[in-house]
Chain A
Amino acid sequence: MKKMVVKKAVILGSGGLRIGQAGEFDYSGSQAIKALKEEGIETILINPNIATVQTDRDMADRVYFQPLNSQTVTRILERERPDIVLLGFGGQTALNLGLELHDKGVFKRLGIRLPGTPIESIKATEDRELFKATVSQVGTKTARSQPVYSVEEASAAAKDIGYPIMVRAGYSLGGLGSGRIDNDQDLRQKAGEAFRAVPQLLIEEFLVGWKEIEYEVVRDGAGNTITVCNMENLDPMGVHTGESIVVAPSQTLTNREYHHLREVAIKTINHLGIIGECNIQYALNPANGDYRVIEVNARLSRSSALASKATGYPLAFVATKLMLGQRLSDITNTVTGSTSAFFEPALDYLAVKIPRWDLSKLKSSDHHIGSEMKSVGEVMALGRSFPEALQKAIRMLNTGARGLTSHPYSIKDPLDEVQHATDRRLFAIYEAFKQGSSVAKIHELSNIDNWFLEHLANICRLEADIRKQPLDKELLRQAKQMGFADRVIADLKGLKEESVRRKRLQLGIQPVIKQIDTLAGEFEASTNYLYMTYHGDADDISPLGSKAAVVVGSGPYCIGSSVEFDWCAVNTGKTLRGRGWKTIMVNSNPETVSTDFDHSDRLYFEELTLERLQDIADYEKPHGIVVSVGGQIANNLALPLGKAGYPILGTAPEQIDRAENRQKFSAMLNSLGIDQPVWEEVTTLAKAKAFASKVGYPVIIRPSYVLSGGAMNVVINEKELAMYLSEAANVSPDHPVVISQFITNSKEIEIDGVAHKGRLQIYAISEHIENAGVHSGDATVVFPAQRLYLETVRRAKLITRQIISNLNITGPFNVQFIAKDNDLKVIECNVRASRSFPFVSKVTGHNFIAIATESILGKDAKTEYRTLEYDYVGVKSPQFSYNRLKGADPVAGVEMASTGEVACFGENIQEAFYASWLATEQKVKDHAIFLSLPDEHKHKFVEEAAELVKQGWTVFSTPGTHAYMKAHGVKTSLLHKISEKTEPSIKSAITGQKISLAVNVPSFNNDTKDGYIIRRLAIDSHIPLMTNAETGRLLLRCLADPSLTKREPKAWQDYVKT
């Protein structure tokens, strides 16, 4: 194969983070850009995910923050005229879009080549039937299955294969719409839903209890092929691999099995003609070694990101070079710097990945896990024994569990959750062992291999021993080798964490630092990729000392902490290095760019816990620790680290605590004469009622102990208050509840900024489109603010100056306000970088994190940056994943529910908003909308509805809305409520795809069951849904403006010139 001549390349990104497609594509896209730039190729990136590292100034030559749909991308391609387009680095989104553009003939028309895996091979991996036919040509076995195109066909095929069966949808990301089905009735329902999104389903033999194994395969154009690593799922077949606990390399496969599957992988991938990177998934029968290939993903994936981090092999970087025609043997192993990229990493440790779920944040969602993906992120832990790595990973999740034996859940029926897997099955297994279940029993219920279960049982045995026996050197060492945290040991012994630590250090029990060198020590490697273990005597490195600063990363992606904090950590590292500092990055999330080892001088793939940061700081003796750029996990470490005497860079830990602690912060605001919503901490229901009747309903409740459902809630009357505090949460002196005034019909404003010794350096003031009541992470944010009085801006700025001066802030901060009738109240102040830092940085063209880092290092910017007036607008929209979460009510509220965000630019708010809404994977297919509005919002839609009707749109509505519109001269088509059981009904209109956009705004006071069903139906039928009056109205205005669809897409560099 000849090296191709390429001058210009376009990379398609993956858009906003959502379930099934998270931050891993920032990692792969960033590596691809790096590889292209190394070859001197001009690189254009299309990705509306503004919080990514790949969309930074120093990455691609030009970035389009534009929706990833065929219309927009075609226009960009016509404008840019690249030689090649890379489809393999933006997940399923980019791949599907690429296939669509290919089928429309866009690439051919524009003379664009698609390097790497040929499109026919991609199709062979995407269409399951074609896939089976193709790979069977080389004798590769796949599961028995039948493609079906209707519910009737599905039913017949299932009968033929025999229940239970597996239903899968072609062309899906993360297994959307697939699942185990046990009977005909369920099949009919599921198939009906799925056929609305996809034309074809597959009914498959169900491989219950088989092991699930995966290989990451790399192949060059000359046919040289390697498997970079394999991985084994702790959860056997039946649980989606994205929902499984995964170990790398495989632990329970014999050499024969390992290499048999490897041989099949190479044979199959060769036959498919993949060029670059792909993964192949297997089911392996534990009884006889028989296998089935489940699927091949002909692109970089979540698994490849994991494999890359687990082995140190830069998969995405190498894949890019291979697509450009290079051979594996021509590429150098970047870890050793001397050996070749044609090799298979040998690990001398193991990696354990655990998914991170956030189901409690979503009302009414089901906690069972299975063949559909629900997790929002993941962690990876490295260790030299399984218990060590597993318990590390549990702590990394940041869900309140400090290890297998120390978790926050009360599990009523552990064996039921062992059998019917939930997001906390690991802890159910522990509880079952504690209640006397045997390994055999757990195995029988879960099919989890005994090797894993024996290790879990051992952790339980050791816990019992720690309880019973004196804590001598040997026991303490064992406990540490088995992954017990100092804090857990302390709790078992009735001691304090610091006294266990002191004792441990006195006894000389310390973790050692080992390198990840891809070759198990066989060759000299100058790698800076590190982990810590208690299974060892010698460190591989020596301390960096006072020229180094530690940056605490974000930890796992979850609702509320997403790729934006990785962006902050990476940019902090970049700035530190640019100023001559050595950077020590600590993070636990394999889907990040910060854990690419070339972004720091040292990368510790480690827990973000007090204990581990102390271990690292004790060893490295750095100048200081940056805790203000990794989000809340890092922020929470400030005070304990500060108290333990470690140098925190930037704002003092006590000041951070004054902002974090509700009482202290409130007192400060009072002393400064700054207004805030009224609140009180109550310990009895009576006091809660008294407070609420004093300030008036609705009120916001934040319990400190949650039984079920989200942590935060709005209640509208006393009855609800009483119900909530008895059923969903506890209120008692041990579990106080914070209750605060809810200010209706008000706006939210945010200020992101940087201060130096309490003085403002830069700030950005943005506004939410939604009224207050929607969590700032779920809000649609406009910057620069378009509808604020100058008076409001001035006062917000003044208040901000007072707060940052009082807290003596040095570094990043964020202040949130509620504005009503020119009245400003402060909701909170975060003395850390906020989620909107990348957004305001990229809209203003000033890197807030770079400025913050310089401030932390002691630089005073002297003059304030000007950031109020621009010729364009940026709008950031939330990306939701409701279609993945069966049963969850798709309404944004005070508890955050979005999994990601996107942002687009425009010449005015409408243009930017519309693009940014489309960029959250939305599409209005036709000219029919549906309105269902509560009384308090009906008036807001009259003008817009009238305009749409005038332009020939069909407007459907529910009886109330219909009557209101009619009274105001707008002709809408009536649909009966679902509860009326009369046609034409909303149900038949939605399921019959007669509607291209549904607007259903729930009422605060009177949300009916009907409303929930409408919203859920819309989501399950893949119809765009708006549930907020302000954004709903704005969208309708956009739809009524035909010029919006004709705009030429512009690049970031066209808007923001620096």
Chain B
Amino acid sequence: MYTGPKQLAAHAKQDGNRSERGDFLIMRKARLALSDGQSFAGQTPEWVDGEFGGEVVFNTGMTGYVESLTDPSYANQILVFTYPLIGNYGVQPEDTESDKIQVSGVVVNEAALAASHSGSQATLLEWLKSQDIPILIGADTRALTKYLRSRGTMPGVITTRIRRPAMPNLAPARVTIGQPTTYNKERRKKIVLVDCGTKENIVRSLKQLPVQIIRVPLDYDYTNDDYDGVVLSNGPGDPTDYPETIAITKKALRAGKPMFGICLGTQMMALAAGAKTYKLPYGHRGHNQPCIETGTKRCYITSQNHGYAIDEKSLPKGWEVSFRNLNDQSVEGIRHRTKPFFSVQFHPEAAPGPTDTQWLFETFKELL
């Protein structure tokens, strides 16, 4: 067993590539072709064969690949990990953020074959294979990251074919629950969790609060139901692709009950309030994003995963910026000056990433 992809290829010459568990891994040449014609060479395990498209984005987190790969916000995207060694501690089911791997492809420098952790149930490659998710290994992920940074994220295709692939025409991803589902029914206070692709850890964090949670599909109109507060979840893609959710949110804002938005939820709250959003050149994806709370000047390290942001100048009267990114000064949170509405662009539920802003769930509880 060799841990590096290229090592695998050579070993194949004599006796095939046997992973620790005895299955054969044969690597084939592959590449990531970007929509502007640039491509990055690597290899794929033999079970990856064909062309697999998505929007190519990078994440700078050094841990948390299981959480990221199952984060619904990454739907439709090919995720590039800038940290070179991915898969070191294998895969633990309790680390997943949804019921499946959400990305459409993965790009790494090295994928660990020899995962080591007492709780691990599978190696990264075994897990990806079980869900038919393509992975490109051995790519110069730093060069690729710098390329995306300077030209912006763009569509791309992981391909094992020689021909130039057709670029995917990406329909907006929709990840939501099928039917309204209630958790902690015995509790009195009711909050509505609008599920646009919510991460499990948001649900887990809300379950810690003394509230009943009604998780609803993104087009479900809850405004005539009995509820005490609303949480707008994270989710994939452009917030303007969610007109029905925004329409419902507008009604909810008029109702005036406490509202808490996370990530995509923040952008939808802004749009519902009448502000505008824009696409960031290459997004914020990582666990080291510094944010400052505007009033207190208190700083937090946050976990982020978003490609869009709120246009500060478009914020309507009554709203203000509550958090700002220290790196590029972009808006990381807004709140209403008088009404109980607030939202953050980052992930207070962490998983993956730092837990510095977990207290925001408490803040929400206080408003109920």
On A, residues with C-beta under 8 Å from B are 222-224, 226, 249-256, 258-259, 262-263, 266, 286-288, 327-329, 339-340, 342-350, 384-387, 449-451, 454-455, 458, 461-462, 465, 469, 474-475, 477-478, 481-482, 512, 514, 519-524, 535-538, 540
A348 in contact with B141 given A255-B66, A450-B116 (CB within 8 Å): yes
Q: Does B140 contact A (CB under 8 A)?
A: yes
Output the nearest chain A residue to B110 by Cβ-Cβ distance. Answer: A385
Which residue of the partner chain, among A262, A512, A521, contacts B354 with CB atoms under 8 Å? A262
Residues in B neighbouring A535, C-beta threshold 8 A: 84, 109-110, 138, 140
Cα-based distance from A347 to B3 in the complex (angstroms) = 20
Q: Which residues of B contact A250 (CB under 8 A)?
A: 63
Contacts of B1 in A (CB 8 A): 454, 458, 461
Contact of A344 among B82, B297, B301, B355 (CB under 8 A): B301
Q: How far does the alpha carbon of A56 sit from the alpha carbon of B143 in the complex, in Å?
A: 40
* Chain B residues whose C-beta falls within 8 Å of the C-beta of A474 in the assembled complex: 6, 9-10
Mark out the residues of chain B between 106 and 138 whose CB falls within 8 Å of any chain A CB in the assembled complex.
109-110, 112, 114-119, 138
> Which A residue's beta carbon lies closest to that of B283?
A522
Using a CB–CB distance below 8 Å, which chain B residues touch chain A?
1-4, 6-7, 9-11, 13-14, 40-41, 58, 60-64, 66-67, 82-85, 88-89, 92, 95, 109-110, 112, 114-119, 138, 140-143, 145-146, 149-150, 282, 286-290, 292, 297-299, 301, 326-327, 350-356
Additional A-B contacts beyond A386-B85, A458-B1 (19; CB < 8 A):
A255-B61, A255-B351, A255-B352, A256-B351, A258-B64, A262-B355, A344-B288, A350-B85, A384-B84, A450-B114, A451-B115, A458-B2, A465-B11, A474-B9, A481-B6, A521-B142, A522-B149, A523-B149, A538-B142
Give every chain A residue within 8 A of B60 (Cβ-Cβ): 346, 348, 519-522
Indicate if the CB atoms of B327 and A340 lie closer than 8 Å.
yes
Q: Is the CB of B326 within 8 A of A329?
A: yes
Point out which of A251, A348, A523 has the most chain B C-beta atoms below 10 A from its C-beta: A348
A386 to B119 Cα, complex, angstroms: 22
Chain B contacts for A475, CB-based, 8 A: 10
Counting from the closest, the 3 A-B pairs by CB-CB distance are: A454-B114, A255-B64, A451-B116
Give the CA-CA distance A252 to B92 in the complex, in Å: 13
Q: How far is the CB of B307 from chain A (nearest CB, A)?
A: 14
A350 to B63, CA, bound (A): 13
Look across to chain B and name the residue whose beta carbon is closest to the beta carbon of A345: B288
Q: CA of A598 to CA of B354 in the docked complex: distance in angstroms?
A: 31
B2's contact among A262, A451, A461, by CB below 8 Å, is which? A461
| Inter-subunit contact B326/A536 (CB<8 Å) | no
Give the Cβ gap from B42 to chain A, nearest Cβ, in Å. 10
Residue of A nearest to B289 (CB): A343
User: Which listed residue, A253, A523, A536, touches B143 by the CB 8 Å rule?
Assistant: A536
12 contacts between A and B (CB under 8 A): A250-B63, A255-B64, A346-B60, A348-B82, A385-B84, A450-B114, A462-B7, A478-B10, A521-B145, A535-B109, A537-B41, A538-B140
CB distance from B187 to the nearest CB of A (A): 26
Most buried by A among B141, B142, B282, B292: B142
Residues B142 and A536 in contact, CB atoms below 8 Å apart: yes
How far does the Cβ of B29 sit from chain A's closest Cβ, in whole Å? 11
CB–CB B4/A482 < 8 A = yes
- Assess the B117–A329 pair: CB atoms within 8 A: no
Say yes or no: A520-B11 contact (C-beta < 8 A), given A226-B301, A348-B83, A451-B112.
no
Least CB separation from A349: chain B residue: B84
Measured CA separation A329–B289 after assembly (Å): 13
CB of B242 to closest CB in A, whole Å: 27
Contacts of A224 in B (CB 8 A): 298-299
Quick check: B143 and A254 within 8 Å, CB to CB?
no
> Which chain A residues border B85 with CB–CB below 8 Å?
251, 350, 385-386
Beta-carbon contact of B83 and A329 below 8 Å: no
With contact pairs A286-B118, A474-B10 given, residues A520 and B83 touching in the complex (Cβ less than 8 Å): yes
Residues of A within 8 A of B41 (CB): 537
Cross-chain contact B6 with A254 (CB below 8 angstroms): no
A780 to B235, CA, bound (A): 71
Whether B116 lies near A521 (C-beta < 8 A) is no
B35 to chain A, nearest CB (A): 20
A288 to B63, CA, bound (A): 18
Q: Do the beta carbons of A347 and B326 come within 8 Å of each other? A: no
A359 to chain B, nearest CB (A): 31
- Are the C-beta atoms of B298 and A522 separated by less than 8 Å? no
Q: Is the CB of A454 within 8 A of B116?
A: yes
Distance A340 CA – B289 CA, assembled complex (angstroms): 10
Given contacts A223-B298, A259-B353, A384-B109, contact A455 B3 (CB under 8 A): yes
Enumerate chain B residues within 8 angstroms of A455, measured Cβ to Cβ. Answer: 3, 114
**Complex contact B3–A454 (CB within 8 A):** yes
Question: Nearest A residue to B144 by beta-carbon distance?
Answer: A521
Closest to B62 in A: A249
Q: Are A252 and B117 in contact (CB under 8 A)?
A: yes
Closest to B300 in A: A224
Contact: A329 with B7, CB < 8 Å?
Answer: no
Minimum CB–CB distance for B72 against chain A, Å? 17
Q: How many angstroms from the CA of A222 to the CA of B297 in the assembled complex?
A: 9
Given A222-B297, A385-B84, A536-B140, verify A477-B286 contact (CB < 8 Å): no
Q: A254-B92, A482-B7, A535-B109 are in contact. Are A522 and B67 (CB under 8 A)?
A: no
A462 touching B143 by the CB < 8 A rule?
A: no
Residues of B contacting A385 with CB < 8 Å? 3-4, 84-85, 109-110
Residue of A nearest to B66 (CB): A255
Most A CB contacts (10 A, CB to CB) among B1, B41, B299 go to B299
Question: A449-B116, A521-B145 known; A222 and B298 CB under 8 Å?
Answer: yes
| B63 to A: closest C-beta gap in Å | 4
**Contact of B83 with A259 in the complex, beta carbons under 8 Å:** no
Q: Once the chains are docked, how many angstroms separate the CA of A510 from the CA of B138?
A: 16
CA of A512 to CA of B299, assembled, Å: 37
- Determine whether the beta carbon of B4 is less than 8 Å from that of A481: yes
How far apart are the CA atoms of A346 and B351 in the complex, in Å?
17
Whether the Cβ atoms of B6 and A477 lie closer than 8 Å is yes
Which residues of chain A come closer than 8 Å to B356, judged between CB atoms? 266
Q: Contacts of B286 on A, CB cut-off 8 Å?
A: 346, 520, 522
A976 CB, nearest partner CB in chain B, Å: 59
* B12 and chain A: residue at smallest CB distance: A474
* Nearest CB of B to A449, in Å: 6
Of the candidates B88, B119, B292, B354, the one whose C-beta lies within 8 Å of that of A259 is: B354
Contact B95 A328 (CB under 8 A): no
> Contacts A259-B350, A328-B299, A478-B4 given: A252-B288 contact, CB under 8 Å?
no
* Cα separation A339 to B289 with both chains bound (whole Å): 11
Please tell me if the beta carbons of B83 and A458 are within 8 angstroms of each other in the complex.
no
> What residues on A are CB-neighbors of B109 within 8 Å?
384-385, 535
- Which residue of the partner chain, among B4, B297, B351, contacts A327 with CB atoms under 8 Å? B297
User: Inside 8 A of A461's CB, which chain B residues have their CB?
Assistant: 1-2
- Contact across chains for A521 and B82 when beta carbons are under 8 A apart: yes
User: A537 to chain B: closest CB distance in Å?
Assistant: 4
When distances are taken between beta carbons in the complex, the residues of chain A under 8 Å from B352 are: 255, 259
User: How many Å lie between the Cα of A1049 and that of B112 in the bound state?
Assistant: 60
Tell me which of B14, B142, B150, B287 contacts A348 (CB under 8 A): B142
Q: How many Å lie between the Cα of A286 and that of B116 in the bound state?
A: 10
Contact check, A343 vs B63: say whether CB atoms are below 8 A apart. no
Per the bound structure, the CA–CA distance linking A249 and B290 in Å amounts to 19
> Looking across the interface, which residue of chain B has its beta carbon closest to that of A443?
B116
Indicate if the CB atoms of A350 and B84 lie closer than 8 Å: yes
Cβ-defined partner of A339 (8 Å) among B141, B299, B326: B326
Contact A346 B118 (CB under 8 A): no
A250 CA to B266 CA in the complex, in Å? 33
In Å, the complex CA distance between A474 and B14 comes to 13
> Inside 8 A of B7's CB, which chain A residues have their CB?
458, 462, 478, 481-482
| Cα-based distance from A347 to B11 in the complex (angstroms) | 30
Contact at A255–B145, with CB atoms within 8 Å?
A: no
In the assembled complex, the CB of A104 is this many whole angstroms from the nearest CB of chain B, namely 38
Give the distance in Å from the alpha carbon of A475 to the alpha carbon of B146 in the complex: 29
Question: What is the CB-to-nearest-CB distance from B168 to chain A, in angstroms, rounded to a whole number?
Answer: 24
| CB < 8 Å neighbour of B149 from A263, A343, A521 | A521
